[in-house]
């Protein structure tokens, strides 16, 4: 009798453990099937690109709404929480803002692999640090390109001053930050991903898209050298089947 009781307890414990593992995945699968998601952004890559690609990577069908003209955005601007996009609208009326926060939500809500944004706090902190490092890298570039949006009067930089600042960013600031990322990637040459795993995280989506669209696809008077490890990271992201399919359809 005792042996049967012990066997039943072990079986129940095993079943409970299995359910605990499977339940989150099932919830995410249901969430993907039931998702009613709309992304509001401009018809350009920018901060919308990593979100679009992450949604596709997770297999989420969404309304990729791109403003046809700036007037459409300006008409909506007063109703947006921070007066800016990207904005992820969810069925039920919820709206999410700030690109990094939206990326975390997409990963937590829809990524059945659990690797896009880890549940382990220490691993998640590593991802967050890399996302913040991308922001640090681009911190000076934003005011140079969009002065008033960052609190600088338009007349602060004349054309000559802006060109000088851009040249310094491209020859000094950007290579320095790419060098930091290069060292991160070189620490695990067997993986092209920033955290060294077998799958990308939201940090890869954030980093690869901004470098690719801002400094590889565009030609600047000051040449930008992309370290081989950084190029491998970008190539790996855009070689993901879901990303390739989305970009092909976009074209």
Q: Tell me, yes or no, whether 231 lies in a domain.
A: yes
pTM for this entry? 0.86
- Expressed as residue numbers, the domain containing 148 is 121-250
Q: What is the pLDDT of residue 64?
A: 97
Q: Tell me, yes or no, whether 101 lies in a domain.
A: no
Q: What would the pLDDT profile of 186-234 be if each residue is shown by its tens digit?
A: 999 999 999 999 999 999 999 999 999 999 999 999 999 999 999 999 9
Q: Tell me, yes or no, whether 7 lies in a domain.
A: no
Q: Tell me, yes or no, whether 61 lies in a domain.
A: no
Q: Tell me, yes or no, whether 128 lies in a domain.
A: yes
Q: Tell me, yes or no, whether 39 lies in a domain.
A: no
Q: What's the domain count of the chain? A: 1
CATH code, domain carrying 171: 1.20.1050.10
Q: Tell me, yes or no, whether 230 lies in a domain.
A: yes
Q: What is the pLDDT of residue 25?
A: 79
Q: What would the pLDDT profile of 36-87 be if each residue is shown by its tens digit?
A: 999 999 999 999 999 999 999 999 999 999 999 999 999 999 999 999 999 9
Whole-angstrom distance, CA of residue 8 vs CA of residue 229: 53
Taking 60 as the threshold, does the pLDDT of residue 16 lie above it? Answer: no
Q: Tell me, yes or no, whether 33 lies in a domain.
A: no
Tell me which of 163 and 234 has the higher pLDDT: 234
Helix axes 174-186, 121-138, angle to 10 degrees: 150
Q: What is the pLDDT of residue 120?
A: 96
């Amino acid at each position: 009798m005792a042996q049967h009781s012990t066997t039943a307890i072990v079986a129940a414990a095993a079943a409970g453990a299995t359910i605990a593992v499977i339940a989150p995945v099932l919830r995410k699968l249901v969430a993907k099937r039931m998702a009613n998601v709309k992304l509001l952004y401009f018809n350009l890559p920018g901060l919308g690109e990593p979100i679009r690609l992450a949604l596709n990577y997770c297999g989420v069908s969404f309304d990729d709404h791109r403003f046809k003209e700036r007037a459409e955005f300006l008409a909506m601007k007063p109703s947006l929480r921070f007066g800016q996009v990207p904005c992820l609208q969810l069925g039920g009326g919820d709206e999410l803002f700030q690109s990094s926060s939206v990326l975390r939500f997409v990963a937590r809500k829809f990524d059945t692999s659990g690797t896009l944004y880890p549940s382990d706090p220490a691993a998640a902190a590593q991802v967050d640090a890399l996302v913040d490092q991308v922001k640090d890298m681009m911190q000076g570039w934003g005011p140079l390109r969009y002065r008033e949006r960052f609190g600088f009067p338009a007349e602060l930089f004349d054309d000559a001053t802006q060109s000088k600042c851009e040249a310094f960013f491209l020859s000094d600031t950007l290579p320095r930050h790419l060098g930091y990322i290069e060292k991160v990637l070189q620490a695990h040459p067997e993986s092209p991903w920033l955290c060294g795993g077998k799958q990308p995280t939201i940090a890869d989506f954030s980093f690869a898209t901004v470098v690719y669209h801002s400094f590889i696809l565009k030609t600047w008077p000051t040449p930008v050298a992309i370290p081989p490890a950084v190029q491998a990271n970008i190539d790996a992201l855009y070689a993901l089947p879901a990303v390739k399919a989305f970009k092909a359809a976009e074209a």
